[in-house]
């Protein structure tokens, strides 16, 4: 059985637009009243956070809001990932059975 896709070039519809500089990227989007977000992470792994002082950051020009974990309430609870498990019926076994 042969297939016509192995070793063959597949025409990509998006290439001309990208090669001519006409691609649209997230950084190119500019909507009215659009805001940007920045996440600040601790440089220390497993460190205990005693407090977070956001007062100086709130005084900077253009800052609309700052949220910490304390502001998020119930939205900041660890839980299961909302990702479907891999399908089990189409798994191919080798020398060892490895079912997720």
Residue for token digits 């996440």?
39
- Backbone CA torsion sign across 84, 90, 96, 97: positive
List, for residues 49-99, the tens digit of each pLDDT value. Answer: 888 899 999 999 999 999 888 887 777 776 676 666 666 655 555 666 555
Calpha distance 25→34 (Å, rounded): 15
Cβ contact 37:44 at 8 Å: no
**pTM for the whole thing?**
0.48
52: number of Cβ within 10 Å: 12
Nearest CA among 25, 7, 23 for reference residue 15:
23
Cβ contact 54:68 at 8 Å: yes
66: number of Cβ within 10 Å: 14
What is the average per-residue pLDDT within 16-28?
A: 87
């Amino acid at each position: 059985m042969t297939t016509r896709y192995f070793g063959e070039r597949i025409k990509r519809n998006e290439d001309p637009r990208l090669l001519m500089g006409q691609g649209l990227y997230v950084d190119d989007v500019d909507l009215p009243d659009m805001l940007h977000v920045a996440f600040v992470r601790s440089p220390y792994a497993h460190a205990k956070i005693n407090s977070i002082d956001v007062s100086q950051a709130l005084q900077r020009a253009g800052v609309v809001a700052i949220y910490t974990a304390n502001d998020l309430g119930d939205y900041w609870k660890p839980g299961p990932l909302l990702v479907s498990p891999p399908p089990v019926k189409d798994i191919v076994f080798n020398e060892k059975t490895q079912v997720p």
